Chains A and B, each alone.
Chain A
């Protein structure tokens, strides 16, 4: 019988427990500390090639206090002396750095962060694990998986009007619900998938875990090949087999409209129009969901030559994104419009620095999660696309992107 892409990569059928070699493993400044600690406690030797391991600082970067700085100092030293790939503060968000040419189709990639599902955009099996699991992977170079059942998501048509990939991602999460795909793979296919660029696919796969999914995946096609080609890789295309899914849903991209999720549920998406006029204190453009070059470009396209009315924080997802936006003037446009640009990384997404919310404050964020108190105790988060974020920044209240275009 034919297999889903996830079954093909893992080499097993849904429900089977398998041991699988890991091709790439990464941690960030938060989970890396615990991974090293667990690794030492295990009393083992590292079996995995250090060049397959990346330590990427992003969560609280640069450090916000002495305690964080000390933990980062130890981990930095460990990564450097161990010959691992290391990216210090300012390099960017781990998932973004991995997506800049470090993940190839068919690979098994694990990250010690729940949004490690992002890398499925390249036709890889990419998933999140905890710190202790990661320590065991450093020791053995492999881990066990239960091969997941797959939910097929067939995309038709093409995004139109003000709709963005984020609006599709939020629509999928709302349709499946926060636990709707628990333990499953989400496999995207269909002609509509071929209309999405790599940044779009990364945004969509990034939000896979919000449905409880183990991984989300697109087939590596010509678009993927060109993107990875720009990083010097020559990849083979993945062709879809006639496989059987646990269930299959079809989405017509032409039906997608700008969507917003309300506090504190990520699956509460509804048309932005329904909430237009709701007051907002802060806008956040960034995170591993929407801090990429095309997101900054989209945002700048709306605010250029105007002034934002509320505090607006822009966090480029990586140094590469920041550099591109600097070179072509996008950054200058954002700054001139009144935005505050902070160092590449997670920024205020996890409520540690660079834009923590106060009691009763409301943020419209382009992130992937709006759990209670995530960006600060007593704060509330709406989730939407960069276009909606730009329109909201200009209006000072929730606003549809169309109004400002």
Chain B
């Protein structure tokens, strides 16, 4: 079970907005978490610990940078919900162990959200919402903690 408080965002949030190109040249992941959403709203980073981001359509469009979902995880985001994700971001998020769910919610900041990936249920402020189920392989990768861990288990 994944639980967290909702942080609402608009549509078309691109990966440059999630983590700006100027912070990419490092292997120090904490840098990405510290500067997440800096060009969108610098106050956001402080509200992300234990958060479920509920975004508008087309979340994660643009560059293939995997630092974007890593930055969200580093900042404490536990899941992202959007009616539609850009496909590379979606795949990267699963690969770094960040649950991403396709669902259309009305978002209010602070609402309590609970997600059960195995049962396929999502509730927001007590109301149940449907979401597009993840493929069995995606669930396996997520439950391993990401693709690296998934491969380590296989190796």
Contacts and interface: CB of A to CB of B under 8 A. Distances in A.
Pairing of A with B = yes
A371 interface: yes
Contacts, number: 114
Interface in B116-144: 135, 137
Nearest to A139: B151
Contact of A71 (B25, B65, B85): B25
Interface in A21-59: 30-31, 33-34, 37-38, 41-44
Interface string B90-118: 01100110000000000000000000000
Interface stretch (A99-107, A130-138, A243-251): A130-138
A78 to B, nearest CB: 14
B49 interface: no
Nearest to B151: A42
A377 B39 contact: yes
Contacts of B17: 371-372
A369 B62 contact: yes
B64 A113 contact: yes
Contacts of B88: 114, 128-130
Contacts of B135: 17, 146
Interface residues of B, number: 38
A371 B14 contact: yes
A182 B86 contact: yes
Q: How large is the interface on A (under 10, 10 to 19, 20 to 34, 35 or more residues)?
A: 35 or more
Nearest to A143: B91
A33 to B, nearest CB: 7
Given A44-B151, A182-B84, 16 more contacts: A41-B148, A42-B148, A43-B155, A129-B91, A130-B65, A130-B66, A130-B91, A132-B147, A132-B148, A133-B147, A136-B147, A212-B58, A265-B12, A373-B16, A373-B39, A374-B21
29 contacts: A17-B137, A31-B64, A31-B66, A42-B151, A42-B152, A42-B155, A60-B25, A67-B26, A71-B25, A71-B27, A112-B64, A114-B63, A114-B64, A128-B64, A129-B64, A129-B88, A129-B91, A130-B91, A131-B66, A133-B92, A144-B137, A178-B12, A182-B84, A212-B86, A212-B87, A352-B22, A371-B62, A372-B17, A373-B39
